[in-house]
Chains A and B, each alone.
Chain A
Amino acid sequence: MIRARRLAAIAAAMAILVGACGGAATTAPSPAPSAPPATDQASAAPSEAASASPAPSIDTTPVTITVWDYYGESTPVKPALAGFQKEYPWITVDYQALDWDSMNQKFTVGVSSGEAPDVATLDMTWIPTLAANGALEDLTAMSGGQLNGKPIADQYTKGALDAMTFGGTFVTMLFDFDTYALYYRADLLEKKGIAVPTTWDELRAAAKKLAESSKGSGKPDRYLYAIRPNTFHFSQFLFEDGGTILNADNSKAAFNSDAGVAAVDIQKAILDDGSGLYWPDANNDLTPAITSGQVAMFSDGPYYMGLLKTGVPAQAGKWKIALNPSVKQPGSYLGGTGLGIPVQAKHKDAAWLFIQYMLRPEQQVGVFTYAGAAPATTAALESPELTKADPYFGGQSPFKVFLDTMATSSHFPYVGAWSEIDTFITESLQSALLGKATAKAALDDAASQTDAALAK
């Protein structure tokens, strides 16, 4: 038929053209040799930045800075803009709201195309890739070690300072922190006479006693403990058993140790007991399962306090928070949100002024009052607003628990391959928890992939 022949002729010519084009694709000018990557030496963290030099005089020529914010409608950033404007009238803020998902993509496109904002809220798990690629401005140099007139080292816990450091220098300022604690239905534990678990065995036993079937008999489908196959939750158990993700010099995987296997096994055991609910990240947040009563215990960070209050108001007063049960020592991953300045930012000094403003106690308290999340500076964490009794949590002061967790939490390894390693670990967890492989086999597999990625 005519049409097919035409198409054939076109495609044949295309194939020839493609063949000709396939090889010679370099029409751009020859590249410059790549600059050496950002230094990754294990120099001492700049925690003793006690420089006494006075702050440089501020340039007041009118300038507009672009701020990208992923907090969404409960953002603590937007309400702070008016105050910032008043104090720094020559700085106009071009505020752009994105959501957490798109931020990653947009920020990556932005820095890799050379068109970046001046300040952005960045998830701490993105920091390793960005920092390793030299995308973030050196804040130690910019700040002279000072934040709002006082040494940075005095305003954060050691864990936080550690988390903000890459290659011996600050690459971000922690804005809100995320560590995990145990959320539990205090009313149910009390009703069933279960003590708050403090060890893994107690957790398993408590979960077993809590779980029940809504139909009276058969497989339990209510009051379960949420099992989440992701690196955040895995590292919780891993750290608590004294394990680490990578070895001391970040050259090889260490998560497939006995501690790692134990971390997976305890979760699998709870699942096999029938007292756990497998909840993958694709299901998004737990609120539907909590509302329906499917979940009565889970581990997560401070921002879940806000999620519970808005999403499950009916269960107010029934929940409490405690340190996560542990084996050898308390432990948790440390993440959260950092404020960062891309190296391509056009107005870095003004951007630094904005960051400092957002880290003042008044704005930091806003992190809690607006977003229900946990501010990162110690000053804010000790404010009365955050330490008062919370009726939703039965009169408890939940931040006290989270402050304790922060003291024993550690951030993920800051290596350029982190997002790949994160994926390897997550997949091995899914594999093991779904019963497709033993914990040891799955973790070993992830470990060998990790070693390969680190070797590159």
Chain B
Amino acid sequence: MKPRPLARGVTYAFLVAAALLMIAPFLWSISTSLKQPGDVFAYPPTLLPDPVTFQNYIDVFTKLTFGRYFLNSVIVTGSVVLLNVLFGTAAAYAFAKLRFPGRNAIFFLLLLTLMVPFQVNLIPLYKIMVELHKAIPAIGADTYFGIVAPGAIQVFGIFLMRQFLRAIPDEILESARMDGASELRILRSIVFPIALPGMATLAIFTFLGAWNDFLWPLIVTNSDEMRTMPVGLALLARKNASNWGDTMAGTVLTAAPLIVMFLILQRRFIEGLTAGSVKDVG
């Protein structure tokens, strides 16, 4: 059924309007980050700054150690993604395809943890980190381990991968087992390759969550060297709430890595997202 020209025109009009609504705040944020303080609230408002100034970005890098925050974010996020994809998929495979006593009960227990807001675990978890740090200084509070550990293997990821993996035909696995392959071998050579789109999706979601995580890194890090970008941004935003130029520069810097990555990888991203979440082959 081909849409009629008028309907098409209206359709595109709506879509363009929606797209503009989505993008406009970002454009305004970038524009503000390049404005001088006096121009930020100038009336009537102008989109293009005149004059353009990079002072806000310079401020952000000199007032805060944004370079170090960036490095920390990269290390933390990379670790979280890697751990989640590997161990999450492995666990998901076990829940999806292997049978062992207590399997369903354990899975339900894991699902239950999704319902509890993180804030309530904050203090006991922090206490645990502190004790770990006392016992073994290399781990625990104020270390990369401390920031990474609670998010290292997330139940949401296991849930997601389980849905993907259920689609794998049992016959393939059976024949591999008949050939004498161990479960680990099956996981590595059969499951991982098939699950790659799902793992890509998981990687992206986990990356998003880990990069943008704010509350836990704030609490578990004490020293400035360990802070991640969102924590750095929040410190900047709260301090300089009346210096919107600096604040917007901070938001641009914090959001940019994700957006750039998204724009480069978007096809893989969206395919991975849609391939697993809706189709139910199982």
Residues of chain A touching chain B, judged by Cβ–Cβ distance below 8 Å, are 1-3, 10, 13-14, 17-18, 21, 66, 72-73, 94, 96-102, 105-106, 109, 112-115, 284-285, 287-288, 291-292, 311
Contact = CB atoms under 8 A, between A and B. Distances in A.
Interface in B22-66: 38, 41, 63
Contacts of B218: 102, 105-106
B274 to A, nearest CB: 14
Contacts of B282: 2
A3 B166 CA distance: 12
A291 B244 CA distance: 14
Contacts of B238: 99-102
14 contacts: A3-B280, A14-B112, A17-B105, A17-B112, A73-B63, A96-B224, A99-B235, A101-B238, A109-B122, A109-B123, A109-B219, A112-B123, A115-B127, A285-B242
Given A13-B108, A285-B242, A113 B130 contact: yes
Contact of B242 (A3, A18, A311): A311
B222 A114 contact: no
Nearest to B41: A288
B115 to A, nearest CB: 8
Contacts, number: 66
A157 B234 CA distance: 37
A17 B108 contact: yes
Given A3-B280, A96-B222, A287-B242, A102 B108 contact: no
A1 B282 CA distance: 12
A288 B43 CA distance: 14
B247 to A, nearest CB: 11
A109 B38 CA distance: 39
A294 to B, nearest CB: 11
A97 B224 contact: yes
Contacts of A18: 112, 115
Contact of A115 (B108, B111, B130, B235): B130
B126 A109 contact: yes
Main secondary structure of the interface of B (DSSP, over half): helix
Contacts of B223: 94, 96
Interface string B215-237: 00011001110000000001100
B239 interface: yes
Interface string B100-139: 0000110011011001000000110011001000000000
Given A18-B112, A113-B127, A114-B127, 18 more contacts: A2-B282, A3-B280, A14-B112, A17-B105, A21-B112, A73-B63, A97-B224, A100-B238, A101-B238, A105-B218, A109-B122, A109-B219, A113-B126, A115-B126, A284-B242, A287-B242, A288-B41, A288-B242
A14 B108 contact: yes
A96 B231 CA distance: 14
B241 interface: yes
B141 interface: yes
Interface residues of B, number: 29
Contacts of B127: 113-115
Contacts of A284: 241-242
Contacts of A2: 280, 282
Contacts of A114: 127, 130
A17 B109 contact: yes
Contacts of B126: 109, 113, 115
A287 B242 CA distance: 7
Contacts of A94: 223
Given A73-B63, A105-B218, A112-B123, A14 B141 contact: no
A10 B108 CA distance: 7
B96 to A, nearest CB: 12
A66 B41 CA distance: 41
Contacts of B109: 17
A115 B221 CA distance: 12
Contacts of B41: 288, 292
Nearest to B107: A10
* Top 10 A-B pairs, shortest CB-CB distance: A284-B241, A115-B130, A113-B127, A3-B280, A101-B238, A113-B126, A13-B108, A99-B235, A99-B239, A17-B108
A1 B122 CA distance: 39
Contacts of B123: 109, 112-113
Nearest to A292: B41
Nearest to A66: B222
Contacts of A73: 63
A3 B219 CA distance: 39
B278 to A, nearest CB: 9
A212 B145 CA distance: 60
B242 A102 contact: no
Contacts of B242: 284-285, 287-288, 311
Contacts of B115: 18
A292 B239 CA distance: 21
B276 to A, nearest CB: 12
Contacts of A98: 235
A35 to B, nearest CB: 19
A427 B241 CA distance: 22
B56 to A, nearest CB: 15
B248 to A, nearest CB: 15
Given A2-B282, A114-B127, A13 B104 contact: yes
A21 to B, nearest CB: 7
B10 to A, nearest CB: 32
Contacts of A99: 235, 238-239
Contacts of A66: 222
A102 B235 contact: yes
Nearest to B128: A113
